[in-house]
Amino acid sequence: MRKALFPGTFDPPTLGHLDIIQRASLLCDELIVGLALNPEKDPSLLSAEERRKMIEEITHDLPNITVVTFTGLMVDFALEQQVNLIIRSLRAASDLEFEFSMASANRKMSGLETLFFMADEKYSRISSSLVRQIGSGGHRLYDFVPSQIEERVFHASQKKRIS
């Protein structure tokens, strides 16, 4: 059984993340979307529970997705979940440096390979922080996040700006 992990902080989940999840889900029997609770990225826009629910909602038509939160090193979580593969995406050459180091370190520590998906060019300039900035500037987010969650992400960005 091919079981893979796609990790990220997903604050918020974007159309780019959804594209990778959809494409990766076709290549494995089970895909764990690992929601990293990363203290380096706090304060967050959305709570872990909000993000988990949103990912579940936007992937509800995919039968082999499970969303699980984790803390600590991603590789330890991958081993705990007994996955065979880590999935990451490359949006541009600038992602490569960090990804190369991370994939090498993770392989040394666990023997696990990382499989890279090229981001669809439509989404290659999107990041969660960009989406947060656009929302907090009062612009709607239809081009950046799945339609089912746009309203909530937009309002969370607005609230964050006010508080």
Question: Which residue numbers are catalytic?
Answer: 17, 41, 91, 128
Q: How far apart are CB 158 and ligand COA at their closest, in Å?
A: 18
Q: Which of 4, 16, 135, 157 binds ligand COA (CB under 6 A)?
A: 16
* DSSP code string of 44-109: PSS-HHHHHHHHHHHTTT-TTEEEEEE-S-HHHHHHHTT-SEEEEEE-SGGGHHHHHHHHHHHHHH
Read off φ and ψ for residue 162, nearest 5 degrees.
-75, -40
Site for ligand COA in 80-119 (CB under 6 A): 89, 91, 102, 105-106, 119
Site for ligand COA in 52-71 (CB under 6 A): none
**Closest residue by beta carbon to ligand COA:** 16
Containing 36, the helix (H) or strand (E) segment is strand 30-36
Residue 54 or 119: the one with the smaller Cβ distance to ligand COA is: 119
Q: How far apart are CB 119 and ligand COA at their closest, in Å?
A: 4
Answer yes or no whether residue 14 interacts with ligand COA by CB under 6 A.
yes
Read off φ and ψ for residue 123, nearest 5 degrees.
-110, 10
